[in-house]
Amino acid sequence: MFHGKQVLITGGLGFIGSNLAHRLVRSGAIVTLIDSLIPEYGGNLFNIAEIAGQVHVNISDVRDEHSLRYLVCGKDFLFNLAGQTSHLDSMQDPYADLDINCRAQLSILEACRKYNAGIKVVFASTRQLYGKPDYLPVDERHILRPVDVNGINKMAGEWYHILYNNVHGIRACALRLTNTIGPRMRIKDARQTFLGIWIKLLLEGKPFEVWDGAQLRDFTYVDDAVDAFLLAAESQDANGKIFNVGGDSVISLHDLANLLVDVNGGGEFLTRTFPPNRKRIDIGDYYADFEYIRTMLGWRPAITLADALRRTLDFYRKHLDQYI
């Protein structure tokens, strides 16, 4: 399907984008990555060290309409993953989040409409759109009630994609990802995912902090998330659709911390109350109903949570210095 195809990945030096790039290179696709490498975000050139000679890298910003116009031309697929992903940052600097997660998404789609209307687009959306769930598991019919600026801007970004599919015929669909974990995620600090900082501290032999601990979550291993992106790109039935992507199990953060320590073969953590600035935008318990993507696209998670943690720890044991 992807062999010989021209593929563009925005956010391609980030966590999920670079894992997608590895898979696409293996499939024989001709892959171009766009990434701004803004230091506080998840982009890292080491993420593509193994495929560096096999991908085109364009260090540019998706807010730059001129470079996008050039970059979308001639592409068969666009995996649109560039994003400001910190919920807390979106509350402290709402305009940067607005520009990247909302306005730039519109200009990406405008570039497609004007210069390459035949492209197929898959957008990386998020479970953050749902806010605090009214019921569990959360399916795609759940009301959207974001608890932070990031959720609102990602919602607009998602719906621009669906609108351009429905009105302009630019084939597009969206995946609402839950916590995605695996090699190449940012672990430097807690800006993006708490699991990153847990892993870093664990591997440094220091205790990590679990806030509250009772919250329930699901996790997708990054290879499973990549499968979902590829299935969505291949399927014409997916056009105009929005799919939840979930995990193989539901676990409290306290049990997750214990599992991580077990898989690591040792380590310590402390349980603390939630810092107030985080508590205000916390979504409580969440786990996804992913029946829709299972029945429509045949996707289901293949990697267990314990395996996902094992593979992730193995990666950072080898490459910790590249990520801290």
Q: How far apart are CA 253 and CA 212, in angstroms?
A: 8
CA atoms within 13 A on the CB side of 37: 11
Strands 250-252 and 216-221: antiparallel
Residue closer to ligand NAD, measured from CB, 36 or 215: 36
Angstrom distances, CA of residue 13 to CA of 22, 41, 43, 301: 11, 10, 5, 24
Residue closer to ligand NAD, measured from CB, 34 or 210: 34
Residue closer to ligand NAD, measured from CB, 207 or 322: 322
Nearest-approach distance from CB 209 to ligand NAD, in angstroms: 19
Nearest-approach distance from CB 87 to ligand NAD, in angstroms: 10
Nearest-approach distance from CB 66 to ligand NAD, in angstroms: 13
Residue closer to ligand NAD, measured from CB, 83 or 146: 83
Q: Applying CB under 6 A, which residues contact ligand NAD? A: 11, 13-17, 34-38, 41-43, 61-63, 81-85, 100, 124, 126, 177, 179-180, 186, 193
Residue closer to ligand NAD, measured from CB, 38 or 270: 38
Nearest-approach distance from CB 100 to ligand NAD, in angstroms: 4
Strands 208-211 and 172-177: unpaired
Nearest-approach distance from CB 4 to ligand NAD, in angstroms: 26
Nearest-approach distance from CB 181 to ligand NAD, in angstroms: 7
DSSP sequence for 87-137: HHHHHHSHHHHHIIIIIHHHHHHHHHHHH-TT-EEEEEEEGGGG-S-SSSS
Residue closer to ligand NAD, measured from CB, 270 or 324: 324
Is the Cβ–Cβ distance between 38 and 86 less than 8 Å?
Answer: no
Is the Cβ–Cβ distance between 251 and 308 less than 8 Å?
Answer: no
